[in-house]
Amino acid sequence: MWWMGWRNLGWSVLLLCQFCLCQAPARPRSAEPANQVYRNPDSGFCYTIPFGWVERTKEMASDDPDARKPHSKLLLAIFERPPQAPNSDINPTVVIASEPISAYQGLKSAADYFAPLAEVASSHGMRLEGGPYQVVINNRRLARGDFTKQMNRRTVRQSTLVLLDRNSVLSFTFIAEDEEHVNSLIAQLRLGPCGRA
């Protein structure tokens, strides 16, 4: 089937679930603070990192053997608090990844990406609410899918936006405790030229 390529980027959802919903051992990290704005001129977007959030892009990428393959790339992984911090609450998270369209045989639209994504997410207890639908950010059309999971008598919400950009699939994943918080995280994404801070 065309979606069998999902295994190539399934790591991002798997790692995302591990880092935001589970405890992990502490890792040494650089004393440098995360940049306030992440810019990706190659793909034409930027993301304003909320004040005080921590970046774990390098740690998450180095934990996954698939991340070393040239076909997939973790671009940004940020968390409201360190993933290893002891806390039973949901840790709001943003993960941005890229991979070639060729990793998905028969992928024709951004909405098609949600078949393999829903399969991976369901193996971790996340359920796709309805189907993917179209959203517009800065005059660019993206597909959006909303997922939920019950955890400790609370609902975890995940929204993933998908954009087909030239030969790449860009996925923007946002996790928080409610839809309002998820939407506030999405509002920090800008597609198109990003000015210098």
For residue 76, what are the CA distances in angstroms to 54, 111, 130, 139, 158?
Answer: 11, 22, 27, 23, 16
Confidence class for position 84, pLDDT limits 50, 70, 90:
confident
- Considering the entire predicted model, what is its pTM? 0.80
**Could you tell me the maximum CA-CA distance found in the chain, to the nearest angstrom?**
46
Summarize the confidence of residues 15-26 as an average pLDDT.
42
**Is the separation of the CB atoms in 90 and 80 below 8 Å?**
no
Token pair 């996954």: residue: 64
Compute the distance between CA of residue 193 and CA of residue 54 in angstroms, rounded to an integer: 25
Per-residue confidence (pLDDT) for residue 65, from 0 to 100 = 57
Token code pair at residue 5: 């390529």
Q: Which residue has the tokens 């393959």?
A: 69
Residue 27: its pLDDT value, please? 43
Alpha helices in the chain (DSSP H): 10-21, 57-63, 114-122, 179-186
pLDDT higher than threshold 50 for residue 46: yes
Kindly report, residue by residue over 148-183, the tens digit of the pLDDT: 998 878 889 999 999 998 889 999 999 999 999 999
How does pLDDT run across 2-20, given as a tens digit for each residue?
A: 333 434 444 344 334 444 4
Comparing 7 with 91, the larger pLDDT belongs to: 91
CATH architecture of 2-22+50-191: 3-Layer(aba) Sandwich (3.40)
Q: Report the C-alpha gap between 85 and 54 in whole angstroms.
A: 11
- E strands, 66-105, are 73-79, 93-100
Taking a C-beta distance cutoff of 8 angstroms, is the pair 61, 128 a contact? no
* Over residues 23-45, mean pLDDT: 64
For the stretch 47-83, pLDDT in tens is: 999 999 999 998 888 665 555 555 789 999 999 998 8
DSSP state of 42: T
pLDDT at 88: 66
pLDDT beyond 60 at 90:
yes
Orientation angle between helical segments 10-21 and 114-122, nearest 10 degrees: 40
Read off the tokens for 144: 């959006």
Q: What is the pLDDT of residue 28?
A: 43
Look up residue 92 and give its two tokens.
Answer: 């709001």
The pLDDT score that the predictor gives to residue 21 is 47
pLDDT in tens, 94-137: 999 999 998 888 889 999 999 999 998 999 899 999 899 999 99
